[in-house]
Amino acid sequence: MTRVKSVERVLNGLPTMDGAGVRIYRAIGNTDLKLTDPFLLLDDIHSSNPEDYMAGFPLHPHRGIETVTYMISGVMNHQDSIGNKGRIASGDVQWMTAGSGILHQETPERWDGFMQGFQLWVNLPRKSKMMDPRYRGIMSDEIPTLRPAEGIEIRLVAGRMNDAEGPVRDLVQPIEFLDVALGPGKRFDHMVDASWNCFAYVFHGDGDFGADDAVAVEEGQVAVFGKGDEIEGIAGNKGMRFILAGGKPLQEPVAWGGPVVMNTQDEVDLAFRELRSGTFVKVKPKH
């Protein structure tokens, strides 16, 4: 018998700045990590004013995590220390495994209209923290779009739904990543592994999540789900669009130092010593 996941907590994000002065909305970031494990952070960049994002994110390090960049509208350019270059345009995804260490930069292009993109950080298990870095660019037309009923559209970036499978399949930590758009009053139902942690970030409109104890979630809020094996959501009068992420929790200690996420503080300190000494990057460029 299935059990609809209730909303355990509703999180309110915070406006902040990152990179060289980019205005972002941090939907999830270093809150109660047990609730969202294996997910560490979710940033939402959105603005009609290019001055809010054009400064970009100059060359910076990462270790111990994977980053998922998903553009709704606009363009972000990527370049990294292992020789990868990519242009992430509207609907595209970049999945980067930092592993043992990578330096990369992300440079937005000026966009005529409303620019919006997300970056999700997925923690790596202890055994994979020091794996070789890798980069995967996924074009918009590679992502399955499901329309199970009128007024419902689901883009499946990672995971399975019905007979469809997302294009990112060689994941270190099993997760799902869906972009769900519901018309006014439309219902979304999705089965998930009961052992996984799941959250929904509403970035347009509003709606209710849960069953008998449904909780209202507004634009800019995150619904963190509790126990159960089914996600249920109903859009409000304005419709609702949200990112749904679910994953198998690592249940490992987290030591977090900015762009470096390891299991112990000694490992974080070592990463920054290596940055200073020039030995942080372990894998040479391909080209």
3-state secondary structure 238-261: EEEEEEEEEECCCCCCCEEECCEE
Does 30 score more than 80 pLDDT? no
Report d(CA 123, CA 99) in Å as an integer.
Answer: 10
Q: Tell me what the mean pLDDT of segment 147-157 comes to.
A: 97
Q: Where are the domains of the chain?
A: 7-277
Range name among 36-50, 114-128, 163-177, 254-268 with the lowest pLDDT average: 163-177
Contact indicator for 235, 184 with CB cutoff of 8 Å: yes
pLDDT tens for residues 34-93?
Answer: 899 999 999 999 999 999 999 999 999 999 999 999 999 999 999 999 998 889 999 999
Domain 7-277 belongs in CATH node 2.60.120.10: yes
Cα Rg of the chain (Å, integer): 18
pLDDT tens for residues 80-108?
Answer: 999 988 899 999 999 999 999 999 999 99
Q: Which residues contact 112 (CB under 8 A, 6 or more apart)?
A: none
Please state whether the peptide bond connecting residue 15 to the residue before it is cis, i.e. omega within 30 degrees of 0.
Answer: no
Residue 12's CB is within 10 A of a number of other CB atoms, namely: 9
Cα-Cα-Cα-Cα dihedral sign, residues 126, 271, 253, 70 = negative
**pLDDT level of residue 123 (50, 70, 90 thresholds):** very high
Q: Are strands 65-73 and 115-123 parallel, antiparallel or unpaired?
A: antiparallel
